Chain A
Amino acid sequence: MNKDVRSCMKCGSCTASCPSGRVVAFRTRKLVEDRAIGEIDYDDLSLWYCTTCFNCMERCPRGIDITDEILKIREEAYRKGKVLEPHRAVLRYIYRSGHAVPINPEVREKRMALGLSELPPTTHTFEEALLEVRRIMEDEGIEYKE
């Protein structure tokens, strides 16, 4: 496995099995081909159409780890600052609360009505735990001051 993208035989199995490719103009095979010739357009929105379902990767007859490769391309896009705002917001939530989706007043109520603790026993309850998560992110250069 982990075969080079240049071993692609252009069979199109990846495109055919892609859930996104059925609803939007995104062609997995095209992305693999662009990668093989080193011509990725980091401004192209279609980099973000992949749901990471792994269908293409499991089906590729050449054993190319396509989904992993798409994630690598996205990492490169991130390093170039090409990020969708809602994704940056997710990072900000994790930095500020330890959760990609933090609790809200309505769910606090719902938890109590169900007989659960008002806050889950996570970074929401333990302040020092949140500081640990922040420290790990800060060491990677990610910081969101309040």
Chain B
Amino acid sequence: MRGLSTKSDFSLFLGCLIPNRLPEIEKSTRLVCERLGINLHDMKGASCCPAPGVMKSFDKALWLKIAGRNLDIAANMGMDIITLCNGCYGTLKDASMELKDDPELQEVVRASLSTIDRDLGKIVDVYHFVEYLYFDYGLDDLSDHITKKLDYKVAAHYGCHLLKPIKYRRTKDFDAPTFFDELIELTGSTSVDYVEKNTCCGAGGGLRSGLKDVALDIARKKVASIKDANMIVTPCPFCHMQLAQVSNIPVVYYSQLLALSMGFSEEEVGMAVGK
């Protein structure tokens, strides 16, 4: 059963990498959500979340203010946010929690937003898409929509900010989580174990943009430990780009995998697994 049956309308937060580099993620997510009865509404005028690695490293107040503006767009729509990126999730989820917890911080952000005729409204809740599917939509309801059993061997990559900091996350098990594996296996695929499964992709914290060689060394170590898989599946466009750069097997976003198991074609979801 779906946990929050009244909640089928969401503000869709796109971020930067998905619409501007990997639009196949946007496309496949829109396709599956339409099938699932999850109504995604565009957040008109949303910006970068802003990028936690750089913005939060430079000026936390500014990070909160720009995040606050994005939260306000959703508040005006009266809908909680779904994000498709671990980085956007890290920013918007953590910012929303910090703001809810700290009235003084809220005042700082409200004061800034008032200069652009915005408030902060009622601070909305923020969900990562795969988190929502597992914890709220539910595997039972989800399996009703799966019409084609896939048999891929998948190396699952959770990424860091989907799981941590645990004080702001729904599952406290960051060492050996299973929810993403379960979502993957629902499509008929097998989630294969590998040594560096829980290792960071190396892209975050501004490392990929600032010191790319180091970032890619981390990714290489991770990918080298994958045996017996024919694809890597991620819930994050940033991890996705990073791993794709060093991987010999395709990197696929979860919505694409799910869409295939719902009978959509590889063309429709913008991928070429066979390649």
Contact = CB atoms under 8 A, between A and B. Distances in A.
Interface of A: 1, 19-20, 22-24, 45, 48-55, 57-58, 67, 71, 74-75, 78, 83-84, 86-87, 89-91, 94, 98-104, 107, 110-111, 114-116, 120-126, 128-130, 132-133, 135-137, 139-140, 142
A53 to B, nearest CB: 4
18 contacts: A20-B207, A48-B210, A51-B202, A51-B215, A74-B57, A87-B58, A94-B66, A100-B51, A102-B20, A110-B24, A120-B20, A121-B44, A121-B45, A122-B43, A125-B44, A128-B45, A130-B47, A140-B62
A102 B55 CA distance: 16
A75 to B, nearest CB: 6
Contact of B203 (A51, A57, A110): A51
Given A54-B165, A136-B65, 8 more contacts: A20-B202, A23-B218, A52-B160, A74-B58, A78-B59, A125-B45, A128-B45, A140-B61
B269 to A, nearest CB: 9
B69 interface: yes
Interface stretch (B11-19, B122-130, B131-139, B223-231): B11-19
Interface in B207-223: 207, 209-211, 214-215, 217-218, 221
A51 B57 contact: no
B60 A71 contact: yes
Interface residues of B, number: 62
Contact of B166 (A58, A98, A115, A142): A58
Contact of A94 (B45, B46, B51): B51
A99 B18 CA distance: 11
A84 B69 contact: no
A114 B18 CA distance: 13
A90 B45 contact: no
B21 interface: yes
* Central interface residue in A49, A54, A124, by most chain B CB within 10 Å: A54
B42 to A, nearest CB: 4
B42 A121 contact: yes
B112 A139 contact: yes
Interface of B: 14, 16-17, 19-21, 23-24, 26-27, 42-48, 50-62, 65-66, 69, 112-113, 115-116, 118, 160-161, 164-167, 174, 199-200, 202-207, 209-211, 214-215, 217-218, 221, 270
B266 to A, nearest CB: 12
B209 A90 contact: yes
Given A71-B56, A78-B57, A98 B48 contact: yes
Contact of B115 (A54, A57, A111, A135): A135
Contacts of B56: 52, 71
